[in-house]
């Protein structure tokens, strides 16, 4: 077969449900052969587009599309400073598109290219939230009725802040700047009460999770994890920020709650120690934030050696292409644990034909060659770049101190 080279790289930003998704299209020298990848870093979408168009595209034109590893290594080192979220997401879009092309050339879905299925369906979990017990109950019941048996439970978004309005009157100083305020101790108490209620109402036949989202201090995290032991969580997520992973040693030694971590990881040194020491049970990285399928496959194998299972990040700011890409890993990785799923609406299905299907709590990817999800450029143009509300990112303690979201 003649060498298939990269002829062009195009970038699209589309927002079918008001969330900016960055899509990369790699065109090749073979007539009609293209690949699609997800490069969505929705909070800095314009920066990712610039990185692709101004830096990666000139590097890629004319290269052999089959040499995915070489392209990934060259692009990663080409900026000298590396492993930041902008470069990683930009590279992810290209990397996933190249794997899509490789699957199409082989006439195989990616899970077959990765070694074949380890399971027939992919267990997924949904996120149930609300401003009070009744709203949370309705969200949980809706997902149970749809067949889901893994549910992440929250009340009042991350940290229980409800924008400082529905979590009681906060004792705040004068002239506080705007932001998403929360009270860590009030949050801890409210979550324990919430899980007492949920277990009492829905029983023990469903698996429950909770995401701390880095909202607690080191000591409070340990205390909170111990309080949550009684509810037999499937996992407690992102208890601490990436720069404090060493503290997971103490969590592991003093609590039996299964721990998940990694949503904000962008560099191998952030996960190396925590996996090797078996301080966590689930790795939660966002595939595009670490550079795409190429590093994710290596990470999954690395985790397998230490008994850590995968639970890839799957928020609503992930395109159906990106969701399908990680589901191919879910099917083929022996150490798969669970997959976060945020659903697809009709507009997304219009823009991305071939979205994975979810039935009775399990996801199923297309058996078409490659990733199996297409991209309708005309439909995407109906949903242009959206000005998004970044308010929830500006988290503050009740005295006004800015903290990480």
Active site residues: 158, 213
Please tell me the distance from the alpha carbon of residue 347 to that of residue 359, in angstroms, as a whole number.
19
CB 340 within 8 A of CB 314: yes
CB 395 within 8 A of CB 405: yes
Burial of 320 (0-12, 13-18, 19+ CB in 10 A): buried
Please tell me the distance from the alpha carbon of residue 138 to that of residue 156, in angstroms, as a whole number.
14
Please tell me the distance from the alpha carbon of residue 200 to that of residue 136, in angstroms, as a whole number.
13
243: phi then psi, degrees, rounded to nearest 5: -80, 5
SS (H, E, C) 110-140: HHHHCCCCCCCCEEEEEEECCCCHHHHHHHH
Residue with tokens 């439970």: 153
Please tell me the distance from the alpha carbon of residue 249 to that of residue 116, in angstroms, as a whole number.
35
DSSP 232-293: --SEEE--S-GGGGGGHHHHHHH--S-EEE-TT--SHHHHHHHHHTT--SEE---HHHHTSH
Q: Is the dihedral of CA 172, 173, 175, 177 positive or negative?
A: negative
Please tell me whether residue 335 adopts helix, strand or coil conformation. Answer: coil
Please tell me the distance from the alpha carbon of residue 3 to that of residue 212, in angstroms, as a whole number.
49
DSSP 225-241: HHHHGGG--SEEE--S-
């Amino acid at each position: 077969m003649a060498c298939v080279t990269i002829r062009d790289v195009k970038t699209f930003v589309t927002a079918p449900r008001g969330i900016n998704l960055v899509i990369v299209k790699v065109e090749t020298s073979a007539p009609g052969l293209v690949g699609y990848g997800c490069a969505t870093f929705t909070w800095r979408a314009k920066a990712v587009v610039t990185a692709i168009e101004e830096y990666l595209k000139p590097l890629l034109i004319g290269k052999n599309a089959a040499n995915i590893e070489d392209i990934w290594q060259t692009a990663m080192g080409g900026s000298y400073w590396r492993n930041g979220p902008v470069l990683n997401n930009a590279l992810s879009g290209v990397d996933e598109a190249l794997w899509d092309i490789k699957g199409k050339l082989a006439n195989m879905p990616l899970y077959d290219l990765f070694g074949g299925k380890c399971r027939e369906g992919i267990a997924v979990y949904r996120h149930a939230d609300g401003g009070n017990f009744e709203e949370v109950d309705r969200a949980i019941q809706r997902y149970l009725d749809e067949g889901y048996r893994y549910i992440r439970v929250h009340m009042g978004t991350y940290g229980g802040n409800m924008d400082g309005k529905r979590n009681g009157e906060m004792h705040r100083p004068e002239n506080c700047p705007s932001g998403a305020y929360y009270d860590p101790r009030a949050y801890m108490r409210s979550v324990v009460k919430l899980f007492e209620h949920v277990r009492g109402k829905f029983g023990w036949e469903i698996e429950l999770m909770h995401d701390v989202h880095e909202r607690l201090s080191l000591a409070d995290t340990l205390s909170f994890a111990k309080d949550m032991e009684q509810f037999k969580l499937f996992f407690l997520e992102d208890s601490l920020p990436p720069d404090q992973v060493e503290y997971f040693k103490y969590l592991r030694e003093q609590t039996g709650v299964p721990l998940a971590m990694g949503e904000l990881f962008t560099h191998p040194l952030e996960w190396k120690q925590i996996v090797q020491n078996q301080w966590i049970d689930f790795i939660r990285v966002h595939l595009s934030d670490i550079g795409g399928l190429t590093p994710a496959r290596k990470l999954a194998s690395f985790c397998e050696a230490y008994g850590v299972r995968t639970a890839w990040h799957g928020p609503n700011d992930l395109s159906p292409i990106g969701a399908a890409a990680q589901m191919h890993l879910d099917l083929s990785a022996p150490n798969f644990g669970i997959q976060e799923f945020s659903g697809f609406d009709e507009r997304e299905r219009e823009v991305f034909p071939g979205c994975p299907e979810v039935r009775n709590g399990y996801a199923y990817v297309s058996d078409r060659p490659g990733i199996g999800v297409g991209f309708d450029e005309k439909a995407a143009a109906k949903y242009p770049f959206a000005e998004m509300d970044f308010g929830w990112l500006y988290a503050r303690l009740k005295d006004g101190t800015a903290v990480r979201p």
